[in-house]
Amino acid sequence: MKKKILLISGMLLTLIIVISTILIVNKNSTNNEIVMQDNNKPINNSFLTLMLEQSDGSYLESTTNTWSTGNYAFNSELSRCENGGELRWDRENGIVELLSNKSDACYVYFDLYNVVQITNVSATKTTNSVTLTVTVDAGENPVATYYFSMDGGRSYQTSTSPNYTFSELTPNTSYTFQVYAVDTLGYESNEETIEVTTENYVNPVVNSVTATNVTNNSITVSVSATAGTNNIQTYYYSINNSSYASSSLNTHTFSGLSAGTNYSIRVYVKDTNGVDSNVYTINAETDSVIYLADVCSNGTNFATCLKNYYNAAGVEMSGMYYHTSSLANSAADNSYRYAGANPNNYVCFGSDAASCPSANLYRIIGVFGNEVKLIKSTSYGSYAWDSGNSNIWNSSTKPDIRTTLNSTFLGTLSSTWQNKIATHAYKVGGMALDDSYTAKEYYNTEVGSSSSSTTDSMKIGLMYVSDYGFAASNNYWTKRLYDYDRVARNSDWMYLGSYEWTISHDSNDSGYVFFVYVKGKVGYFSGGGPGNNWAVRPVFYLTSSTTYVSGSGTSTDPIRIN
């Protein structure tokens, strides 16, 4: 006996007969009678013969109007109609359908068979996929194939596994799935339907964009973004509607910008599924200040670096004045000199420590030719200019202070640092002036056109009176230095707040050397002779091959040299 197709298991049996109307045969829910209906009007079932398989394999016609208990499966091969009508099993509704356009007598065969039953269909879902899992009660034979449909049964996907995944679905969309199984003998189970709505896709979100570092020619932004359904993969950055630059990092630097300019910056992200976030826009303005590091890179000649900085930043930002002949009341020597209350002219010299020790902080007096001139930022100690009270500094008679600077002090530096100091010719002839002249007048007599030709070549010297005078803001260069104790000292970065020696002496009187008073003015007076122990700050020129390494020139971030 060849058994074929499907389960009727203690369930409702229905037969649809299509003539000119649709007739339904079902099992009455109250008295188990087989009833035929047409538009809800009872009619007889004389044209329908139900054939039920017996335990011995034979088929007997059902003689009652009740459906036999037990497990039955529709046999499509034996079931037939005399006038050519087609009988078929509808899994979804659990009915037998008769398709015919005329009256027909039909024989419906059901095999006595325990077919596998689908008891549950569960689903797991993502935004674009649904995985179905089928649970069955075993029948007489195991399941051979599972059938899965998402188009109303027009097509099915097959699997030997009770699990199947439908992919490439649309987020937040409802889908109806149909599932049935076929055992190893070809008998079909019941068909179950399940409706599943895919997850709503969550896009990534850019929460904020912050300008974390702004210079005069660059803006660095940091992005705070939240992943949605999928992880963030790429960040996109645009400035002033330029093409987007992509990066795997949440920080980005826009460089080559103009100082003091407002820029519009746009940022968005894309997740691993290629879905974009919102576009976040901020405005950020570059710093109007030009910093030393913006002009100088590691390895730049130091003197050239400072000159270029002045040319790029000007007086206001660099703190330097270019002493040309056209600069009023200046030295007119084409030097570049720092002036003002506290310019960023600190240099770390004599130490490579990450944090420069205060004892190794120096300050730039200026650039003279190809050499940079430094002065110690604090006093090295208090020493007599000359213990013998002589103010003569020439090639045959050397004052005590020269030995102190070029032997004692120089010896505190390693040979590496000593080799960075140039041997320089200092003007030591002195000047025949009183204490009532301007910085320019002191300069001309000390080292300029009116100075003596007497020089001394050495590594370490002291500041000139004119160095101190030109360190004040340029609006004080018309003042005599004897008046600097009133207001000018507050704008003079070289003012130390103590009595301090200069290298210049009175060439007309052996008893006097020029010095800075504790209150800031410059002069000399009786009783203030060379034998006094006053503050000494070493001054020297760096070799012309010295190069810039890093640093902004502040006391906490001093310039580092090679």
Q: Give the DSSP letter of residue 542.
A: B
Rounded-to-10 torsion of CA 549, 552, 553, 557:
-90
Is the per-residue pLDDT at 512 higher than 70?
A: yes
Number of residues assigned to the chain: 562
Higher pLDDT, residue 390 or 468: 468
493, part of any domain: yes
- Pick from 250, 285, 320: which residue ends a domain? 285
Whether residue 98 is found in the same domain as residue 25:
yes
Whether residue 555 is found in the same domain as residue 528:
no
Q: Would you state the pLDDT for residue 263?
A: 98
Whether residue 104 is found in the same domain as residue 138:
no
459, part of any domain: yes
Confidence at 89, pLDDT banded by 50, 70, 90:
confident
1, part of any domain: no
Q: State the Cα angle at 438 between 435 and 444, rounded to 5°.
A: 95
Provide mean pLDDT across the span 191-207.
96
Task: Measure the CA–CA gap between 467 and 349, rounded to whole angstroms.
Answer: 20
pLDDT in tens, 416-433: 999 999 999 999 988 876
Is the per-residue pLDDT at 106 higher than 50?
A: yes
Whether residue 398 is found in the same domain as residue 528:
yes
Whether residue 516 is found in the same domain as residue 387:
yes
235, part of any domain: yes
Task: Measure the CA–CA gap between 346 and 356, rounded to whole angstroms.
Answer: 11
Q: Provide, rounded to the nearest whole percent, the portion of the chain with pLDDT above 90.
A: 68
Question: Which domain covers residue 275, as residue numbers?
Answer: 205-285
542, part of any domain: no
Q: How many domains in the chain? A: 5
Whether residue 149 is found in the same domain as residue 77:
no
- Pick from 90, 112, 134: which residue ends a domain? 112
DSSP string covering 306-337, please?
HHHHHHHHHHHHH-EEEE-TTSTTS--SSEEE
Provide the mean pLDDT of the chain: 88
2, part of any domain: no
Provide mean pLDDT across the span 468-491.
94
518, part of any domain: yes
Confidence at 217, pLDDT banded by 50, 70, 90:
confident
Task: Measure the CA–CA gap between 46 and 292, rounded to whole angstroms.
Answer: 108
Whether residue 333 is found in the same domain as residue 473:
no
Is the per-residue pLDDT at 406 higher than 80?
A: yes
Strand partners, 336: 322, 367
Whether residue 385 is found in the same domain as residue 483:
yes
Helix or strand or coil: residue 410? Answer: helix
Higher pLDDT, residue 253 or 99: 253
Two tokens at 110?
A: 């059901």
pLDDT in tens, 346-355: 999 999 999 9
33, part of any domain: yes
Higher pLDDT, residue 54 or 146: 146
| pTM of the predicted structure, to 2 decimals | 0.57
Helix or strand or coil: residue 248? Answer: coil
Whether residue 395 is found in the same domain as residue 442:
yes
Q: Would you state the pLDDT for residue 105?
A: 86
CB 367 within 8 A of CB 303: yes
Whether residue 221 is found in the same domain as residue 156:
no
Report the CATH number at residue 263.
2.60.40.10
Whether residue 108 is found in the same domain as residue 122:
no
pLDDT in tens, 234-243: 999 999 999 9
- Pick from 285, 307, 337: which residue ends a domain? 285
Give the position of tokens 């001093």. 558
Separation of CA 329 from chain center: 51
Q: Would you state the pLDDT for residue 3?
A: 45
Whether residue 108 is found in the same domain as residue 121:
no
3-state SS track over 454-520 = CEEEECCECCCHHHHHHCECHHHCCCCHHHCCCCHHHHECCCCCCCEEEEEEECCCCCCEEEECCCC
Residue type, 248: S
C-alpha separations of 491 from 257, 275, 372, 451, 475 in Å: 33, 60, 22, 27, 10
Q: Would you state the pLDDT for residue 73?
A: 86
C-alpha separations of 244 from 109, 221, 223, 269, 276 in Å: 72, 14, 15, 11, 13
Q: Residues 6 or more apart from 70 whose CB is under 8 A from it?
A: 10, 112
Residue type, 447: V
Is the per-residue pLDDT at 249 higher than 60?
A: yes
